[in-house]
A = this chain, B = another copy of it.
Amino acid sequence: MRTLTTVRSVTRWRRPLQREGATIALVPTMGALHEGHRALIRSARLSCDAVVVSLFVNPLQFGPREDLARYPRQRARDAALCRAEGVDILFAPSVAEMYPAGSATTVAVPVLARRWEGAHRPGHFEGVATVVTKLLAIVQPDVAMFGQKDFQQAALVRRLVDDLNLGVTIRVHPTVRERDGLALSSRNIFLTPAQRRSAPALYRALLAGRDAIREGARTRAAVERAMRTVITRLPLMRAEYLASCDPETLEPARRLAGRLVLLGAAQLGRVRLIDNLVVNGRR
């Protein structure tokens, strides 16, 4: 495995490969890799000739009051995991390499960024859309892998790749969970033991929503009530949103029919958890 830190070095690496017809998969990450990332890398490994993992804590997607400074960084461990998984290139650029002085271009998908994470994190998805567009232009992969845990992000990336004709196949890998259901996240290490015990309630809330739909709930409000009840029982946890949505547009589902996604976010001390569950509503 080679670690590259400049755009130029990535271009130099990929050009001859692509001339030969080799395919490249990109796994974009912010580092602090866990088993969810490992699953993405393995899936990437299976689908292409070469695998690039990018490791970049993107300042553009953090709000001024968010956790950019304390976002977990563990470069040596990340490199070891990538090496063990047969990654070809670890692309770990500096902030100055990605956003040189004078950088001024932004990519946005306003219609998908308005609600849910976008509403709670103004500017977040513009930062995501911009850095993903750049990473795809730098690596020019055939396939890029994203985790389902960030459902809204994956929907937005799919949209922007289609809209900007980037010609990359976006694969979304199912969320990897702890045995008690908690979705893996680099931020989970910030949970205190008591918070960690409460954390799986977010997933349980989503399951309660699914059960409510299966048992014939007729309204969105009824489903959301079923989810919210699970969270409000817990003194440490505060629900931010719990919603049943159209999985393409992310608008609140008009009818509890067809394919739906339940989206949830909750605050647990200083940690925000997000999770989601795709469910089938009535036929």
Interface residues in chain A, defined as those with a beta carbon under 8 Å from any beta carbon in chain B: 7, 11, 19, 21, 100, 102-112, 129-130, 133-134, 137-138, 159-160, 162-167
Give 12 pairs: A residue, B residue, CB < 8 Å, sorted on A.
A19-B19, A102-B159, A105-B109, A105-B159, A106-B107, A106-B108, A106-B109, A107-B107, A130-B164, A133-B164, A134-B163, A137-B164
Question: How many copies of this protein are present in the complex?
Answer: 2
Residue numbers in B under 8 Å from A160 (CB-CB): 105
- The CA of A138 and the CA of B163, in the complex, are separated in Å by 11
> Which of A11, A108, A137 has the most chain B CB within a 10 Å cutoff?
A137
Residue numbers in B under 8 Å from A129 (CB-CB): 105
Residue numbers in B under 8 Å from A21 (CB-CB): 19
- Measured between C-beta atoms, what is the minimum distance from A129 to chain B in Å? 7
Nearest B residue (CB) for A129: B105
Among B103, B105, B107, B137, the residue within 8 A (CB) of A105 is B107
Residue numbers in B under 8 Å from A19 (CB-CB): 19, 21
Among B110, B138, B166, the residue within 8 A (CB) of A165 is B138
- Measured between C-beta atoms, what is the minimum distance from A145 to chain B in Å? 20
Q: Are A105 and B108 in contact (CB under 8 A)?
A: yes
10 cross-chain pairs, A with B, having the tightest CB-CB distances, nearest first = A105-B163, A104-B111, A137-B165, A105-B160, A138-B165, A105-B109, A103-B163, A134-B165, A104-B109, A107-B107
Among B11, B100, B106, the residue within 8 A (CB) of A110 is B106
Nearest B residue (CB) for A104: B111
- The CA of A162 and the CA of B100, in the complex, are separated in Å by 9
- Measured between C-beta atoms, what is the minimum distance from A18 to chain B in Å? 8
Among B104, B110, B159, the residue within 8 A (CB) of A163 is B104
- Measured between C-beta atoms, what is the minimum distance from A205 to chain B in Å? 29
Residue numbers in B under 8 Å from A164 (CB-CB): 105, 107, 130, 133-134, 137
> Which of A102, A130, A134, A164 has the most chain B CB within a 10 Å cutoff?
A164
Residue numbers in B under 8 Å from A110 (CB-CB): 104, 106
Among B11, B103, B108, B167, the residue within 8 A (CB) of A167 is B11
